[in-house]
Amino acid sequence: MPRLTPDNTHRARDLIALYPRSRSALIPILHIAQEQDGYLTEEAMAHVAELLDLTPAEVRGTATFYDMFFTEPVGRYLVSICTNIACMLNGGYELLEHAESHLGVRAGATTPDGHFTLEEVECIALCGNAPCLTVNWRFFGDVTDERFDQLVADLRADRLEGSVPPHGTLCRVRREVGLEAGRAADAGGAS
């Protein structure tokens, strides 16, 4: 189980340089770690702790507060179905039930072939197209049972590789410039 690769370590250092205090880069760097391995490994979190001069417990303590970070492996595709109020009124629970029976796993579980992890999520802000879901945080709205089945078939056949990157890949666009205006003076004190 790997630490961050040299390229990702470089990206992490670039991120640290953007903030008045290094710890602010923790969450952005954890996204890079999750992009690298699909979830947060102990080794990667320990490496991130080294980079930020934190303890592994501080890194884990932050990571486990947030829904998007996984400390256990997940499927290649994380299918997140919203059942909050606007989706519920438009069949969100029925869609979740359909997804469970179609994939053969309950919400929270991963299919035996490791392709799909299904989860029920809170409002993902696409309520005008309820019911909605995301796959690896790429949005799909107005989802019917038929559309769901087609989506799963397309994902299995790798037909959506361009629009749905592997799990953990959040932002495929990299910042091109560092700070130009001069690093902001720190407010002082410990972080």
CB of 115 to other proteins, least distance (A): 20
CB of 181 to other proteins, least distance (A): 4
Query: 104 or 139, CB closer to other proteins?
Result: 139
Tally the C-alpha atoms within 13 A of residue 10's C-alpha that lie toward its C-beta: 5
Binding mask 14-43 for other proteins (x = CB under 8 A): ----xxxx-xxxxxx-xx------------
Q: Does 170 bind other proteins (CB under 8 A)?
A: yes
Residues 84-143 that bind other proteins (CB under 8 A): 84-86, 88-90, 122-130, 134, 136-139
Residues between 144 and 163 that touch other proteins (CB under 8 A): none
According to DSSP, the β-strands at 138-140 and 116-121 are unpaired
Complex with other proteins: residue 112 or 189, whichever CB lies closer: 189
Out of 49, 68, 109, 160, point to the residue binding other proteins (CB under 8 A): 68
Kindly tell me which of 61 and 73 has the beta carbon lying closer to other proteins.
61
> If DSSP states are collapsed to H, E and C, what string results for the chain?
CCCCCHHHHHHHHHHHCCCCCHHHHHHHHHHHHHHHHCCCCHHHHHHHHHHHCCCHHHHHHHHCCCCCCCCCCCCCEEEEEECCHHHHCCCHHHHHHHHHHHHCCCCCCECCCCCEEEEEECCCCCHHHCCCEEECCEEECCCCHHHHHHHHHHHHCCCCCCCCCCCCCCCCCCCCCCCCCCCCCCCCCCC
Q: Is 180 in the site for other proteins (CB under 8 A)?
A: yes
Q: Total residues at the site for other proteins (CB under 8 A)?
A: 59
Among the listed residues 41, 82, 78, the one whose alpha carbon sits nearest the alpha carbon of residue 59:
41
For residue 133, the minimal CB distance to other proteins (Å) is 11
CA-to-CA distance for 39 and 72, rounded, in angstroms?
Answer: 6
Is residue 9 a contact residue for other proteins (CB under 8 A)?
no
Binding site residues, other proteins, CB under 8 A: 18-21, 23-28, 30-31, 52, 61-62, 65-69, 83-86, 88-90, 122-130, 134, 136-139, 170-177, 179-182, 184-187, 189, 191
